[in-house]
Amino acid sequence: MHVVSASFCVASFFIAGISAWHLLRKNHEEFFQKSFNLAVGVGLLASLVVVGQGHLHGNLVAKVQPAKLAAMESHWETMKNAPMYLLQIPDAKNEKNLVQALPVPSLLSFLAFNDPDAEVKGLKDFKPEDRPPVGITFIAFRVMVGIGTLMPLLMLFGFLKRREIATYPLYLKAMLLAMPLPYLGMQAGWAVAEVGRQPWIVHGLMRTADAASPLAVSQVGTSLLAMTLLYTLLGAAGAYLMVDTAKKGPKA
Amino acid sequence: MLETIWFLLWGVLWAVYFVLDGFDLGAGTLMPFLAKDEFDKRSVYNAGGPFWDGNEVWLLSAGGVTFAAFPLAYATMFSGLYSALMLLLFALIVRGVSFEFRGKVESQTWRSVWDGCHSVCSFLPALLLGVAFANLFHGLPLDEQHVNQWGLIDLLNPYGLLGGVFFVCMFALHGALWLAIRTTGGLRDRAAAAAGKLWLAVLVLVLAFLAYTWGHTQLFGNYLKNPHLFLILIAAVAGLLASRYFLAGRSYWKAWAGSAAFIACVALFGVVGLYPAILISTLNPAWSLTVSNASSTPLTLKIMLGVALVFVPLVIIYQAWAIKTFSHPIEHEGDLEY
């Protein structure tokens, strides 16, 4: 549900952005007003669901993959009433945070367990070989949450003001620039899920290192390079086509 | 019992995949030789366009069933044939995209590039699948951990290459017949003429392949022990002969059906010959992966069977509907969607 609603966010922001572009240029205004209305309606719902579902996911992760949660929050010391720091810079090598400022008391415990007095396990509770890479997991998580916060706000404004949205050119420009947001949010979220699960490929049962096939580094390296090149080219061709088609607008 | 059922279903999935993707891979391979102008080229794309991804679903199913029913074989096959599979994957990706992207920009350069991609990436999968299956029929040097010791170059041995060329021509014939069904005018005539020539090539190649298989592999073992299984080969020959007969009579649908029967029976001939092995080890028979040592648990196989019995008929139904909907011949500009 979290991923499905995120997909609808991608679609909504995509349609809203293209509609905004055409509304700014006053092309086919009636058509793009309709598509804009649809996009912000669906987008508002989808972005709220994605946040709600995300919260439920966080509850699940706190329970079954506590090391991942600890890495997501760069939370080192096991404690009750764990605060959430609005300004935080991890220092994984020294098993602490270089900067942890602007604490919101008990927020981490509350968000993870719906109970401000709950105990949140810290990374130090896990053997170093069982801890996920903190840097990537932490940054990706905050990027995802930041985007997840921004999306409903953007959609809410668009939804409430949709009938006169053409009179808000700054907002329309913002929606045009906001098109990549859900894509980035998705990627960040998947990074949290996959990197945060390391070193396990099946949590608690099999390590990624044990699951890897006996392939030559050259084989894997070549295929990775080829895949990256191929998808970059296809992505560029696709992006070109999308811009070309979006500019053309609806067929006469 | 369950493993044997799944082994046969696995074979059927490969057979159906070859029959289906065979025609659009074949048509794509022939495009540079048969299409003389823009309308011809677009006709070739439109002949395969509505079907290619539905056809590839059977490849995914075959791979998926390998994973779910015979996970150890999946591991050895997909990791052991890594480079070949990656190449196959990239070719299929580019070909699929070429269908969708080619017509969307008016530029001649854009279209020529995608045309090149389309034909090369229709040829490559046919070649690679033929090479792969020939090597599977012969066996691979699997060690005690069932790890394949051969690289991509080793797969291109004479028997493998013969398999590759055979598959290319077999799919090309199938594609030519499909083009004869779906196109009109000069393109249709050229496709039918090409089918006639390709038929001869396929006849020579299948005989060569069977002879080489007799000498080079153990595949005929099961047939000699159970001679009634030779019906599969007889059906293959019948299909091939019927295909030529109907081609001469310009009944292209029937000719295509004959070619389909031929392809399916060739695939089944190989799979039935392999049984009970899935991946033969040429180093030590004890290291082969068979239906007994490579399969999933009976519970898994039972659940899968239930799911398959429901969904495979559904897939066949909607695919038949798609073929029926898009089977009209391509005559003018208005028929072109791609």
Please report the residues numbered 183 through 222 in chain B whose beta carbons come closer than 8 angstroms to any beta carbon of chain A.
none
**Which residue range(s) make up the domain with B58?**
2-335
Provide the 8-state DSSP code for A132: P
So what's the pLDDT on residue A130? 94
> Is residue A207 classed as helix, strand or coil in its secondary structure?
strand
Contacts of A214 in chain B (CB under 8 A): 79, 145, 147
Question: Closest-CA residue in chain A for B147?
Answer: A214
Number of neighbours of residue B56 by Cβ within 10 angstroms:
19
CA distance B145 to chain A (A): 10
Give the Cβ contact number of residue A247 at 10 Å.
Answer: 12
Residue with tokens 């810290």: A122
d(CA A95, CA A88): 14
Provide, as residue numbers in chain B, all residues whose Cβ is less than 8 Å from the Cβ of A213. 75, 79, 82
Q: What is the pLDDT of residue B327?
A: 84
Residue written as token pair 């300004």: A87
User: What is the number of H-type helices and E-type strands within chain B?
Assistant: 13, 2
Q: Are B128 and B89 in contact (CB under 8 A)?
A: no
Residue B116 at interface with chain A, using a CB cutoff of 8 Å: no
The two tokens of residue B66 are 């390998």
Q: Does B149 touch chain A (CB under 8 A)?
A: no
B86 in reach of chain A (CB within 8 A): yes
pLDDT at A252: 56
Residues of chain A in contact with residue B105, where contact means CB-CB under 8 angstroms, are 241, 244
For an interface test with B, the pick among A201, A217, A219 (most B C-beta atoms closer than 10 Å) comes out as A219
Is residue A251 over pLDDT 90? no
Partners of residue A225 in chain B, C-beta under 8 Å: none
The continuous run of DSSP H or E covering B289 comes out as: strand B289-290
Q: For residue A225, what is the nearest residue in chain B, using CA coordinates?
A: B86
Q: How confident is the model at residue A248 (pLDDT cuts 50, 70, 90)?
A: confident
d(CA A35, CA A22): 11
Q: What is the pLDDT of residue B202?
A: 98
| pLDDT higher than threshold 60 for residue A56 | yes
> What is the pTM assigned to this prediction?
0.90
Residues from chain A that touch B86, judged by Cβ atoms under 8 A, are 223, 226-227
Q: What DSSP line would sit under A86-106, residue for residue?
A: EEEEEEGGGTEEEEEEEEETT
Interchain contact B90–A (C-beta under 8 A)? yes
CA distance B86 to chain A (A): 7
Averaged pLDDT of chain B: 95
Q: What is the pLDDT of residues A175-220, one digit of tens each?
A: 999 999 999 999 999 999 999 999 999 999 999 999 999 898 999 9
Distances (CA, A) of B200 to A76, B193, B197, B255: 73, 12, 5, 14
Residue A20 pLDDT: 96
Measured CA to CA in angstroms, residue A103 lies from A88, A186, B140 at distances of 9, 27, 61
pLDDT at position B195, please?
Answer: 97
Q: Are B87 and B128 in contact (CB under 8 A)?
A: yes
- The pLDDT score that the predictor gives to residue B337 is 84
CA distance B291 to B278: 7
Tell me the C-alpha distance between B181 and B47, whole Å.
9
| Cβ contact B79–A227 (<8 Å) | no
Gap between the Cα atoms of B108 and B98, Å rounded: 14
Q: Which residue in chain B has the smallest CA separation from A242? A: B104
In this structure, what are the phi and psi dihedrals at residue A79, rounded to the nearest 5 degrees?
-165, 160
Domain segments of chain A as ranges: 2-212, 213-252
Count of CA atoms in the C-beta half-sphere (13 A) of A33: 11
Residues in a beta bridge with A120:
A79
Closest approach of chain A CAs to the CA of B101, in angstroms?
Answer: 8
* Burial profile A75-91: b = 16 or more Cβ within 10 angstroms, e = fewer: bbeeeebbbbbeebebe
Q: What is the pLDDT of residue B41?
A: 96
Q: How many folded domains does chain B comprise?
A: 1
- Residues of chain B positioned with their CB less than 8 A from the CB of A244: 104-105
The residue type of B315 is V
Q: Which residues of chain A make contact with B104, given a CB cutoff of 8 A?
A: 241, 244-245
Q: What is the reported pLDDT for B272?
A: 96
The answer to whether A223 contacts B105, with C-beta atoms less than 8 Å apart, is: no
Q: Cα(A188)–Cα(A144) distance, rounded to whole angstroms?
A: 5
pLDDT at res. A154: 97
Ordered per-residue pLDDT tens for chain B, 338 residues: 999 999 999 999 999 999 999 999 999 999 999 999 999 999 999 999 999 999 999 999 999 999 999 999 999 999 999 999 999 999 999 999 999 999 998 899 999 999 999 999 999 999 999 999 999 999 999 999 999 999 999 999 999 999 999 999 999 999 999 999 999 999 999 999 999 999 999 999 999 999 999 999 999 999 999 999 999 999 999 999 999 999 999 999 999 999 999 999 999 999 999 999 999 999 999 999 999 999 999 999 999 999 999 999 999 999 999 988 988 899 988 888 88
Residue of B nearest to A228 (CA): B90
Residues B138, B282: contact at Cβ < 8 Å? yes
